[in-house]
């Protein structure tokens, strides 16, 4: 589809009309809409919303209730409803299983939805973090309103740094330059104006200079305009489908775990169906029992436990100066093994100091400072630390009057704003005598490439072939010391406005030298990241020598460095190899930062990007987890998954640790529960092949899982061993199947021992000394079956609950590593409660009954033996696979 065809018809129509006609057609004026008109416009054209993830309740509902785990449970619930309620006779109808599973889905989704809303509210309270507002004139009064309250016909004001909140026909501009990277994916900066367009067929949307679109960003200048389209009618609204979101690493991991469970079901269910069908002769009963096997294999509380882990982790991180805007990002935060960041403000202080202003040979030059001051003073783009440092020169002793007079002598005519590809800014000024001067400042190499002459002590000299060597002789030592150096150039022009074509044959005047000291905590923070096995990589637009100097001071390996110009010469395959050995990338454009991130991801890394500026936004969009700070530009904060309330890597380290704790506790539940369930189901399959009755009923299997999973809800508050959070962990199902196959059969060994004890010793001793096949009395047979099922029910529960302590840690449980107090208490409480259940009337409803006290001595011996064998097997597993949880 041609992108121009996505433009709202009003946009195309009014781009070619005079402003008076636009005002007339929309019933508005430069004084804005009236209150009555606003309501009419909103009803006619809709609200300014495209259903983005941050403000749509439907999106949050979908994410809370629809995921691979809940889908599996929902399918099981529906099949249970059909087989247990609709197919059986009225006497045997049972809707319990379907109700219990449905309640689990509802509780899990509700917990997640509540936490999602809490997380959103927490970030909403920091208005600057995610709320965009705009200046609007209504009824002749300029007011500040939230962007979502805009309507077609509103008269709005734009300035540098603003997100453009709707599709707009410009009515007035002053050096207005915008970035449409969010729409086009290109980092080029475009100049806009308010001139009427002549009619042109098949005009691309980017060619309309008097239109600007939702999602674009004002880089510099000012503008005014009329809102022509809002919400889904905008160009951006056509590109972004409501609730569309790329599959995150969390969702991919969840999907892989769900598929492991599905594969186990696909194998076990047919086996159980065939075995029980042949041995019992009742195929309908066999089908219902095989269904209960599927239910028993599935950790029904998995969505709830995962959600609780994520929610608890998010709450804990908020206490550590970190706001999680998307709780799914918790997993990526903990799994991150590469952190990319710009050095400015992260390793160095936000503010920098102007140290020297020198001519081309290194002598102090007030002329260089004066021209740089004028350039920064009239730069209408987003203010940056360099401009702020230059403008602070007016606060020098006895200089206030001088710089005030200088500003009065030179007036601004035009400018070409800073561009991250050009790396310099040009300002056209005029003095009191009518002379026009183009002043350029920026990156040394880029400014030098535009110069044909140098000026020294009033003399104008042509640049010779070894001119770059002369520059190096003056500034290289300063660059090696970590100072930032920019060049200043000028030339006289007889023009009132300028284009990039005029930026040539400039006269190089000299340099400004700045010092940006590393933060005192930077070196310590880098060491902590390395200890967490998170590799820091610097992606900066700064000069290579500056980046190297800073990295050496803070302890980042910088034996190899890759500059933007060298990066362009590498193929994608070569870049994938280079990024593994390189930690410092300098002189990069925003698009080059994205290339580096993509190469790291293709190599299998989970990559985080910490950014706070406009040039960081493309890379933040590409990263697995995007991190920003509360002092960042609004655009960066708006797309960030994680927001740090302090611009300090120590805060980041605490967040990573909390993310890993969350991840470890999720893995405990998933691995331990899945392997334990698999062992129980495998035992039931074995028993079903030999027993003349079902070893457990479907409702008993479901209740067993429900009780166990309910106890596991406390796992998010468990302690985590230091070695389990010392390195990033992968969130996927790759190792789950291996864990299940290894530890599941161990529990089956003791299940089978229990099965033999129950069938040949306990049950006969309480049934007249006869085996089941020797019994003739139906009542005694039922008692025999109930005794057997109760004994196995208790053994399964005891082993499942206690095995958590065995497999939650690589160390010796209870001695070298203790579970948290809540986990210990819930373990004891759970065993007492569930064992006590068999002594109540409720037991009869579940087909259970009271067992003699001496059985519990046997049960204790079995459980201790199981725990000892599991501990021994655990050490073998760790030795072989170098991991546990």
Q: What b/e string do you get for 3-34 counting C-beta neighbours within 10 Å, with b at 16 or more?
A: ebeebbebbbebbeeebeebbeebebeeebbe
Closest CA to 526 of 349, 662, 341, 385: 341
346 by Cβ neighbours in 10 Å (0-12 / 13-18 / 19+) ranks as: buried
pLDDT tier at 761 (50, 70, 90 boundaries)?
A: very high
Look at residue 212 and tell me whether its pLDDT is greater than 50.
yes
599 vs 567: CA distance, rounded Å: 12
pLDDT at 571: 93
Residue 608 bridge partners (DSSP) = 339, 625
| Strand 483-493, strand 625-629: pairing | unpaired
624 three-class SS: coil
133-137, 591-595, 639-643, range with the lowest pLDDT: 639-643
Q: What is the mean pLDDT of residues 621-627?
A: 86
Cα–Cα distance for residue pair 704/702, rounded to 1 Å: 5
Name, of 99-113, 331-345, 478-492, 620-634, the range with top average pLDDT: 478-492
pLDDT value for 123:
45
Q: Which stretch of 10-19, 121-130, 632-641, 670-679 has the lowest confidence by average pLDDT?
A: 121-130
Residue-averaged pLDDT of the chain: 82
Q: What mean pLDDT do residues 365-371 have?
A: 94
- b/e burial code for range 282-305 (CB count within 10 A of at least 16 → b): eeeebbbbbbbbbbbbbbbbbbbb
Residue 198 has pLDDT above 70, yes or no: yes
Give the global pTM: 0.66
The stretch 186-205 carries a mean pLDDT of 72
What percent of the chain lies above the pLDDT cut of 70? 85
Decide if 485 contacts 511 (C-beta within 8 A): yes
Q: Does an H or E element contain 701, and which?
A: helix 698-711
CB 630, CB 460: distance < 8 Å: no
Tens-place pLDDT, residues 674-691 = 888 788 778 877 887 788
Residue 230, SS3?
Answer: coil
Reported confidence tier of residue 240, pLDDT bands at 50, 70, 90:
very low
Q: What is the pLDDT of residues 420-429, one digit of tens each?
A: 677 899 999 9
More confidently predicted of 720 and 320: 720
Residues 6 or more apart whose CB falls under 8 angstroms from that of 492 comprise: 435, 436, 437, 438
Q: Where are the alpha helices (DSSP H) in 336-466?
A: 366-377, 385-391, 400-409, 444-449
Q: What is the pLDDT, as a whole number, of residue 305? A: 72
The confidence score (pLDDT) of residue 300 equals 61
Position with higher pLDDT, 883 vs 760 = 760
pLDDT tens by residue, 5-32: 456 677 888 888 889 999 998 889 999 9
pLDDT at 52: 46
pLDDT at 286: 75
**pLDDT reading at 614 higher than 70:** no
Q: What is the pLDDT of residue 345?
A: 58
pLDDT at residue 717 is higher than 50: yes
Mean pLDDT calculated for residue range 399-418: 90
CB 427 within 8 A of CB 476: no
Lookup: tokens for 685: 């399959």
Quick check: 386 pLDDT over 60? yes
Segment 802-806 shows an average pLDDT of 88
535 pLDDT exceeds 90? yes
- Alpha-carbon gap, residue 275 to 292, rounded angstroms: 14
Shortest CA distance to 529 belongs to which of 429, 610, 408?
Answer: 610
Band (449; pLDDT cuts 50, 70, 90)? very high
- Termini Cα distance of the chain: 49
Mean pLDDT of 241-268: 63
User: Tell me: the pLDDT tens digits for 764-791?
Assistant: 999 888 888 888 888 999 999 999 999 9
Closest CA to 753 of 789, 792, 801: 792
φ/ψ bin of 345: left (φ > 0), alpha (ψ from -120 to 50), beta (otherwise):
left
Residue 180 contacts residue 207 (beta carbons within 8 Å): no
- Determine the average pLDDT of the residues in 353-360: 91
d(C-alpha 696, C-alpha 789), whole Å = 6
Indicate which residues carry an active-site annotation. 342
Among 28-32, 456-460, 712-716, the least confident range: 712-716
Q: Is 226 helix (H, G, I), strand (E, B) or coil?
A: strand
- Half-sphere exposure of 873 toward its Cβ, with a 13 Å CA cutoff? 17
Residue range 718-743, pLDDT digits in tens = 899 888 888 887 766 677 888 888 99
Q: Within 10 Å of residue 161's Cβ, how many Cβ atoms?
A: 16
Rounded distance between C-alpha atoms, residue 511 and residue 356, angstroms: 8
Higher pLDDT, 669 or 824: 824
């Amino acid at each position: 589809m041609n992108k121009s065809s996505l433009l709202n018809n009003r946009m195309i129509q009014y781009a070619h009309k005079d402003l008076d006609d636009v005002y007339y057609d929309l019933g508005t004026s430069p004084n804005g809409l009236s209150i009555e008109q606003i309501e009419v416009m909103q009803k006619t054209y809709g609200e300014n919303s495209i259903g983005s993830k941050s403000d749509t309740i439907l999106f949050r509902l979908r994410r809370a209730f629809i995921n691979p785990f809940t889908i599996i449970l929902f399918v099981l619930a529906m099949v249970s409803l059909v087989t247990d309620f609709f197919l059986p006779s009225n006497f045997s109808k049972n809707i319990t299983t379907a109700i219990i599973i449905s309640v689990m889905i509802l509780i899990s989704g509700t917990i997640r939805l509540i936490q999602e809303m809490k997380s959103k509210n927490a970030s909403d309270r920091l208005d600057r973090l995610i709320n965009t507002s705009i200046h609007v004139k209504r009824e002749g009064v300029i007011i500040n309103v939230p962007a979502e309250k805009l309507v077609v016909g509103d008269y709005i004001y734009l300035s540098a740094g603003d997100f453009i909140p709707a599709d707009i026909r410009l009515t007035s501009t002053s050096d207005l330059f915008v970035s449409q990277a969010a729409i086009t994916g290109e980092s080029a900066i475009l100049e806009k104006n308010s001139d009427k367009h002549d009619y042109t067929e098949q005009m691309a949307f980017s060619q309309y200079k008097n239109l600007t679109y939702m999602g674009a960003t004002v880089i510099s200048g000012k503008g005014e305009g009329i809102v022509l389209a809002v919400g889904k009618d905008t160009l951006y609204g056509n590109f972004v489908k409501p609730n569309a979101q790329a599959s995150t690493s969390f969702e991919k991991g969840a999907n892989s775990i769900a598929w492991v469970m599905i594969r186990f079901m696909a194998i076990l269910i047919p086996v159980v169906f065939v075995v029980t069908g042949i041995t019992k002769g009742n195929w309908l009963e066999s089908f219902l029992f095989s269904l209960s096997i599927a239910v028993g294999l599935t950790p029904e509380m998995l969505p709830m436990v995962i959600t609780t882990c994520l929610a608890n982790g998010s709450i804990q991180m908020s206490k550590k100066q970190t706001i999680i805007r998307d709780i799914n990002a918790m997993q990526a935060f903990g799994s991150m093994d590469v952190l990319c960041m710009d050095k400015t403000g992260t390793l160095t202080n936000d503010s920098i100091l102007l140290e020297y202003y020198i001519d081309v040979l290194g002598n102090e030059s007030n002329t260089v400072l004066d021209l740089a001051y004028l350039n920064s003073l009239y730069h209408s783009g987003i203010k940056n630390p360099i401009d702020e440092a230059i403008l602070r020169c007016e606060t020098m002793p006895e200089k206030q009057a001088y710089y005030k007079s200088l500003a009065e002598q030179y007036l601004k005519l035009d400018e070409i704003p800073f561009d991250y590809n050009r790396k310099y800014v040009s300002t056209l000024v005029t003095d009191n005598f009518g002379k026009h001067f183009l002043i350029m400042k920026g990156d040394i190499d880029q400014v030098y490439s535009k110069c044909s002459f140098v000026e020294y002590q009033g003399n104008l000299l042509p640049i010779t072939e070894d001119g770059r060597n002369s520059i190096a002789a003056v500034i290289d030592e300063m660059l090696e010391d970590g100072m930032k150096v920019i060049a200043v150039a000028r030339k006289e022009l007889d023009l009132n406005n300028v284009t990039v074509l005029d930026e040539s044959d400039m006269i190089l005047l000299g340099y400004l030298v700045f010092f940006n000291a590393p933060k005192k905590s930077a070196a310590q923070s880098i060491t902590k990241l390395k200890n967490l096995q998170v590799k820091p990589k610097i992606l900066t637009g700064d000069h290579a020598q500056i980046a190297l100097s800073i990295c050496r001071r803070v302890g980042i390996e910088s034996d190899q460095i890759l500059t933007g110009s060298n990066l362009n010469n590498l193929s994608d395959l070569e870049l994938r190899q280079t990024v593994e050995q390189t930690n410092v990338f300098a002189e990069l454009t925003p698009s080059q930062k994205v290339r580096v991130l993509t190469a790291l991801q293709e190599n299998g890394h989970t990559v985080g990007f910490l950014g706070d500026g406009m040039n960081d936004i493309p890379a933040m969009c590409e990263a697995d987890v995007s991190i920003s700070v509360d002092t960042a530009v609004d655009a960066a904060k708006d797309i960030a998954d994680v927001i740090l309330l302090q611009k300090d890597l120590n805060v980041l380290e605490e967040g990573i640790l909390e993310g890993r704790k969350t991840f470890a506790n999720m893995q405990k539940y998933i691995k331990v529960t899945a392997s334990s369930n698999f062992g129980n189901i495998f035992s039931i399959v074995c028993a079903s092949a030999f027993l003349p009755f079902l070893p457990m009923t479907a409702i008993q299997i479901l209740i067993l899982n429900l009780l166990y999973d309910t106890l596991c809800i406390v796992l998010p508050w468990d302690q985590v061993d230091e070695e389990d959070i010392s390195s990033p962990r992968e969130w996927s199902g790759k190792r789950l199947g291996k864990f299940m196959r290894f530890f599941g059969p161990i529990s089956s060994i003791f299940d089978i021992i229990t099965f033999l004890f129950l069938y040949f010793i306990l049950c006969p001793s309480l049934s007249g000394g006869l085996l089941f096949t020797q019994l003739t009395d139906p009542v005694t047979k039922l008692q025999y079956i109930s005794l057997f099922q109760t004994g196995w029910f208790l053994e399964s529960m005891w082993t499942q609950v206690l095995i958590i302590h065995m497999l939650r840690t690589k160390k010796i449980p209870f001695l070298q590593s203790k579970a948290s107090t809540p986990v210990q208490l819930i373990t004891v409480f759970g065993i007492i409660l569930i064992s006590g259940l068999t002594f109540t009337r409720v037991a009869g409803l579940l087909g259970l009954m009271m067992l003699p006290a001496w059985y519990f001595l046997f049960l204790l011996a079995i459980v201790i033996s199981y725990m000892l064998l599991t501990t021994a097997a655990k050490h073998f597993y760790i030795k072989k696979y170098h991991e546990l949880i």
